[in-house]
Amino acid sequence: MSRRIVVTGMGIIAPNGHGLDAYETALRNGTSGIRFQPLLEELKFGCRVAGVPENVDGLSQKYFTEEQLMAMNSNIKFAGIAAIDAWVDAGFEVPAEDSDEVFWDTGAIVGTGIGGMDTTGERLVPLTDSGKSRRLGSTIVEQVMGSGISAKIAGLLALGNQVTTNSCACSTGTEAIIEAMYRIQSGRAKRMLAGGSEAASQYTWAGFDAMRVLNRNFNDAPEKASRPMSASAAGFIPGSGAGVLMLESLESALERNARIYAEILGGAINCGGHRMGGSMTAPNPTSVQRCIRDALRESGINGNDVDAVNGHLTATFADPYEFNNWQKALDVSIDKFPLTNATKSLVGHGLGAAGGLEMVACVLQVYKGFVHGSVNCEDLHEKLQPYAASIVQKTRETSELDILAKASFGFGDVNACLLIKKWRG
Amino acid sequence: MTQDEVFGKVVEILSKYSKSDLPADKINMETSILDDLKINSARLVDIVLDFEDVFDIEVDDDDADSVITVGDGVKLIVSKL
């Protein structure tokens, strides 16, 4: 039998809270992290609200040295803060920079969807185009390279196993966790930091605004702007931040008497091939259903074992299709559909960070026994009315939350689904 | 600007990049930028850019490559003032 995998640490820097306590409180209370962004107004964006973590400069002074900060854009700061927090939460000390100890059994798969666009937009392009590339100095490459976030994490924590950054648009964070699970299951690592991170940058969001997939109708009411499952949903709200989990073999966790938050039962990753109704930007429903079914099979459970679903649910036209796909894949009747929520209603759509931000919410819910409310769906979408009893609008305490399913879907027609289970010792 | 004043400003620039605990009063003209101050070698290009900005000079690549110690940097700057 392959190795069992558990979660032994978590780190979160989200638009509505930094740290597990603040995040849990925000989730329980329905506190939104979506705020008006004056810069987006100045730049004439259609959507002028976004989810951006607060006090990042202040936190960065605490977490990083001046020398480190010279080469850290917002994406790398988010990923670094969440990774350090997950590391410490798992019971480890941040190693000294001049120590020669390397953690050969620990790696990191921390992904990003778009990457260091602030560095590209504010420094790389203007200096290069004005003939001043020499003035870029030595810190540009490490900030714009695809693997910039995982590379920095490796240096902060002296990681010696696989260290990489995956990227598959909005399913990045969830894919990272599944890939990390595979790495430990195959015996190639004892522990992996895994999750996703995304910068807060107008350059990251501009293309989405141009596609008209961001909600432009709530610029004067930011906290109401992210509206998954709502009849008045008109696009997603961009988010940012990072969520990182420490995955560990059960054997290693028990050996060092680590606190266990939850077990990762299994997961699946696939792509719809841009066929059968799928495209670069729309999911092939057959592939979504296959992905969920594969994850169930890998986890050795049935659809009716699932107690809660944390959906991808972005607040676009796709939300009702997503319910249809879950219902078919889980093979449960609508009246038996699991409790469902959308973390994006509170933090926006973190793109490559989404899976990380949302998985931390999922594990907290399973560990503490609650399902956080999805805000802004009081005017439930017509096609979701039949599911009304399953859609959690006000946070519910429940001792019966045992198995939770999380899925993320992304541009490129890619899907990832993960199942976690309450750890009962 | 005297050599001592240049030295003071060079030490200030280097301190941003240094990962060493060496106290500022122990730094002298012979101190090695990479070995003693434990500065990542990639950052030498940033240090040379700082020299150019702070002292309003231009440093070509060959001159930049010749900077090994604090004194190398100070003498290079003084020669261009």
A97 part of contact set with chain B, CB < 8 Å: yes
State the pLDDT confidence band at B24, using cuts at 50, 70 and 90.
confident
Token pair 């266990």 is at which residue?
A260
Binary contact (A66, B16; C-beta < 8 A): yes
Q: Which of A65, A98, A138 sits opposite B42 (nearest CB)?
A: A138
Residues of B in contact with A127 (CB under 8 A): none
CB atoms under 10 Å from CB of B38, counted, come to: 17
Distance CA B28, CA B16 (A): 17
For residues B35-57, average pLDDT = 95
Q: How is chain A split into domains, by residue range?
A: 5-255, 266-422
Q: What is the pLDDT of residues A188-243, one digit of tens each?
A: 999 999 999 999 999 999 999 999 999 999 999 999 999 999 999 999 999 999 99
Q: Say if A5-255 and A266-422 have the same CATH topology.
A: yes
pTM over 0.90: yes
Binary contact (A98, B16; C-beta < 8 A): no
CATH fold, domain B3-80, is 1.10.1200
Q: What is the pLDDT of residues A416-425, one digit of tens each?
A: 999 999 999 8
Query: Bigger pLDDT: A75 or B19?
Result: A75
Assigned architecture for domain A5-255: 3-Layer(aba) Sandwich (3.40)
What is the nearest CA distance from A143 to chain B, expressed in angstroms?
Answer: 14
| Helix ranges restricted to H, B18-69 | 44-55, 61-65
Contact A200, A240 (CB under 8 A): yes
For chain B, how big is the Rg over CA atoms in Å? 11
Q: What is the pLDDT of residues A361-416, one digit of tens each?
A: 999 999 999 999 999 999 999 999 999 999 999 999 999 999 999 999 999 999 99
CATH fold, domain A266-422, is Peroxisomal Thiolase; Chain A, domain 1 (3.40.47)
What is the nearest CA distance from B1 to chain A, expressed in angstroms?
Answer: 25
CA distances from A120 to A124, A148, A202 (A): 5, 13, 11
Q: Which of A67, A97, A98 sits opposite B17 (nearest CB)?
A: A67
Residues of B in contact with A137 (CB under 8 A): 45-46, 49
* Spatial CB neighbours of A375, under 8 Å, sequence gap ≥ 6: A30, A32, A223, A226, A345, A346, A393
CA atoms in the 13 A half-sphere facing the CB of B38: 9
Binary contact (B43, A66; C-beta < 8 A): no
Counting as low any pLDDT under 50, the low residues of chain A are: 1
Q: Which of B18, B44, B46 sits opposite A139 (nearest CB)?
A: B46
B17 part of contact set with chain A, CB < 8 Å: yes
pLDDT at B31: 97
Q: How is chain B split into domains, by residue range?
A: 3-80
pLDDT at A187: 97
B16 part of contact set with chain A, CB < 8 Å: yes
> In this structure, are strands A241-249 and A5-14 parallel, antiparallel, or unpaired?
antiparallel
What is the nearest CA distance from A132 to chain B, expressed in angstroms?
Answer: 12
Number of CB pairs, chain A paired with chain B, less than 8 A apart: 22
pLDDT at A47: 98
Task: Enter the ipTM.
Answer: 0.88
Which of B15, B18, B20, B45 is the best residue to mutate to test the A interface, defined by the most A CB atoms within 10 Å of its own CB? B45
Binary contact (B19, A97; C-beta < 8 A): yes
Distance CA A9, CA A193 (A): 9
pLDDT at A425: 86
pLDDT at B21: 87
To which H or E segment does residue B70 belong? Answer: helix B70-80
